[in-house]
Structure 1
Amino acid sequence: MLAVAGFCFFLGWQLAGKDEPLRTTVPLPGLVTGKTVVIDAGHGGRDPGAVGKTGLTEKEITLDIALRLRRLFSRVGVYVVMTREKDQDYGDTGDLSRGTRKSRDLAYRAGLANASGADLLLSIHVNSFPQSIWSGAQCFYYAGNPESKELANAIQDELAARLGPNRRRPVAADYLMLKATRMPAVTVEVGFISNPREERLLADAAYREQLAEAIFAGAVAYFLRQRERAGSLPVIRQEEPSPAGLPPVSSLAPAPELPATARLYFAVPENKGPELRAEERELPDRAESRPALARCLLEELFAGPGEKSLLLPAVPPGGWLRELRVNGKTAVVDLKAELEPAVQGGTAELLAVYSIVNTLAVNLDLETVTLLVAGEKGRTLGGHLVLGEPLTPRFDLIGENR
């Protein structure tokens, strides 16, 4: 809970009825009135997002929470820009692939946010993973904008304080809505629809109100900290996408120098991620060339962890590889289109992408890996990361390097 002397409007607000005025000890309008906030309800229309066992969809949860957030911000004089107010998407009505429709939808939303000149962006999503063990709300931010990290920390603190213990911390992610927008921006994954208990909570109107209140409180806490830092630490508005600022691949531990042995990166079954960890494995055949080794690595990765492993598949098991090219310090991996609907949720997408990138980069000493889907750039697996540009490995997602 926000703990700032003389600024305890939250207590009065919680005691007030939902439709009563906010009670404050320091005038809240003086802090936020006149601000502009973009609220992005993820997915919509033909794109349901993640779907729970009961049929509950991500798109209906995100819209409901977004509308609740609009009410909270509007009551204190904040101008709200909604990327959608009903069940719709912007991915074109033509006969396009799912991934192409999604990338167009994201580009439209990012353009709308930039055109608004907003002070911050809140993108609301619901997480999912093939296994049901994970739970908890989590914020994601683009590492190229330090203000986004500040915003993510403020919201994560409020989520943990208001909704109960949560070991999750904000994580950097290259999501298009975060990279392509110029204001401080955060994706809030409000919980795992793949977890039966959390799916029941996400279906409850009172719990959705709690989520909206926590996100609102975190945004106000960010504005307060921003005001306190005014004049000493200027807000960084991201005019152009900037590098993620991650250490080079040389900082990663090298692959084991054992004949036909490799490191394959799978998901860690701990409720604090997203996190990858290496499983060392002897490959079935000694590859005669780097492309052959790359193909062998991906086949083993897509087969999943070993029989006695405690790790989880980061990519759903299957034969997803269409084509592969390795040239010097780079590789291009073309994945089958059938993988797109098999990946649901921001965490699942992040882990799937970087399990591939990290596995190839570490074992082949690559600097970048480019992922395509069905031979095309601009496709997306889970609806957050638009593929087609070179990706550098993410050592910060590897558990033993944290």
Structure 2
Amino acid sequence: MKLAMLGMAVLVATSCGIDTSHDVTESGRAEIVDALNNAVRQGYPGAQAVITDNGHTWSVTAGAADLATGRPFSDGDRLRIASNTKPFVATVMLQLVAEGKTELDAPVERYLPGVVRGPGIDGNRITIRNLLQHTSGLPEYAAESGTPPEPGQVAGLTEHVRWGTTDTAEMIRHALTAPADFDPGAHWAYSNTNYAVAGMVVEQITGNPIGAEITRRVIVPLGLRDTYYPDPDEIDIRGPHPKGYTEIDGTRVDYTSQNVSWAGAAGAMVASGADLNHFFTALLDGKLLPPAQLAEMKNVRPTGVDSTWAYGLGLARMTMSCGNELWGHTGGLSGTVTYGGVVLTTGRAVTIALNQDLMDDRSGEGSRALDAAACSTL
């Protein structure tokens, strides 16, 4: 990654949201700014932290939201939140459970007869819980950024996928030509296919598109004005937003405009940092789910991938360096990396946004910024 394009990068500390008079200690702010600045030094065009404490929301930014103009991230900027979509989908599914319209241990075959079938794959053996928990063994449909697709996978960085509308049912049929990764419940392995299928289950139960159910059940009740689920043929981001960059053949390109119907229920949504903070706070405060379903969502199991990560039903528990536990999710797709969640012991909600995927933040700068925001004394 060449850093020459970042010569225009500047550091900005701003306040946003409900109350701009909130007193933030200089040392606490400096830790977060330093982490964001380090992300820019490592190659990200720009970075933003949006923090909500006791009803007060403020932000700090580093670098550029738009490399052509040098504009920094703005308060209220919207971005593609990628897999932070999954907690929204899981919330809707658990609301349906609370309403008696489905059961966590119901087989997927009950709702999608004949759909979840393939080599070693049987929808009679895979439950709704398996889907939400990533314990189904279903193979991954989305090819890893920068790598050739494996059998059954969709390669995101192609002109056809970028500009075309993907049919979810056909994508799943293609994905399930690959064999199961393991027997249901035997292991944990993150697979976007789980949430593509979960979205189809919600649609079958309700008779409505998954985006409409998320809007009706979560976005509207919470008043999330900067959050939406894109239409299937939508390409541009509505409202103010940073540019989203990716690398193709070693060259950084503007990948802001893209059709994310291929991401669908696994990662298509758009939100601002303040809205994402509001969502996670409301969810963990019990404003979206009854106690029994929220407890199920928070019933985590080790992932076996990272000792600091445990996963429930669309909700991850991330242990920070200071020992604080942040409950939320992360997400990355071409043009963006996002981290979101709430530290339950303090009530602090944090969203970190980076406007280039850089192989889904393999350098770890986003997680370092998240750690600083979750642990700093503010």
TM-based fold match above 0.5: no
| Range of TM-score over shorter length | under 0.3
TM-score with structure 2 setting the length: 0.23
TM-score with structure 1 setting the length: 0.22
Tell which structure's C-alpha radius of gyration is larger.
Answer: 1
Structure possessing the higher relative contact order (Cα contacts under 8 Å, 6 or more residues apart): 2
